[in-house]
Structure 1
Amino acid sequence: MANARRGEIEAVIDGRAQVLCLTLGALAELETAFAVDNLAALAQRFATGELAARDLIRVIGAGLRGGGASVSDDEVAAMQFDGGVAGCAQMVGALLAITFGTAERVPADP
């Protein structure tokens, strides 16, 4: 089960519920993949909303690995997503939103 306080989301991939999380390691992986120098540049890159299919694969792969799965990007490319490509894009949007603070999070306990 995903924990929004930790920046996790849950998505159905290949018919199974999976937890995705962009940990610091996953974000560093994406900085390298997108050839940017820092998190601000990475966030700006994603803010354009112009993501290619290979970008979705990279983000999902990093998110799955951050969530504890041992998968390669090639394996991600062969996966099936609830809702098809549109569902895949929505999942990536939700993961980026919770990671970069644009999604509503569960309030911290007082």
Structure 2
Amino acid sequence: MANPYRGEVCLTVDGVDCAMRLSLGALAQLEVRLGAEGLLPLIERFETGQFKADDLIALLWAGLSAAGWAGSEADLSKAEIAGGPMVAARCAAQLLRLTFTLPESGDD
């Protein structure tokens, strides 16, 4: 079960509920992987909907791997995400939000 107070979000990958969270190391790797000029441009890319599918996979993989998921980005790109791309994007947005804020009461 994901703990939103730790910045965790649950994503169901190939039928398995997996926690995601973004550590500082995961964020640093994500910046490099996506060619972002810092965290703010990276967050803005997702907030404004200017992200690509590859960006989404990279963000989800960073969150999964920081929480202990053993698969690769290639594994994730072939995996079935419960709810499809819309749920994946929603989970990615929630992951970014919880990484930098506390969850709202009654949320999650």
Scaled by the length of structure 2, the TM-score of the pair is: 0.85
Conserved 8 A contact 1:5-1:106: no
Conserved 8 A contact 2:47-2:93: no
Aligned residues: 105
CA distance in 1, matches of 2:100, 2:16: 26
CA distance in 1, matches of 2:34, 2:12: 26
Conserved 8 A contact 1:20-1:64: yes
Conserved 8 A contact 2:13-2:79: yes
Scaled by the length of structure 1, the TM-score of the pair is: 0.84
- Other-structure match for 2:51: 51
CA distance in 2, matches of 1:54, 1:5: 28
- For structure 2, the residue ranges without an aligned partner over 5 or more in a row are none
**Shift in Å at residue 40 of structure 1?**
2.4
- For structure 1, the residue ranges without an aligned partner over 5 or more in a row are none
Structure 1 vs Structure 2: percent identity of aligned residues?
Answer: 36
**Shift in Å at residue 38 of structure 1?**
2.3
Letter in 2 for 1:27: L
Greater RCO, CA 8 A, separation 6+: 2
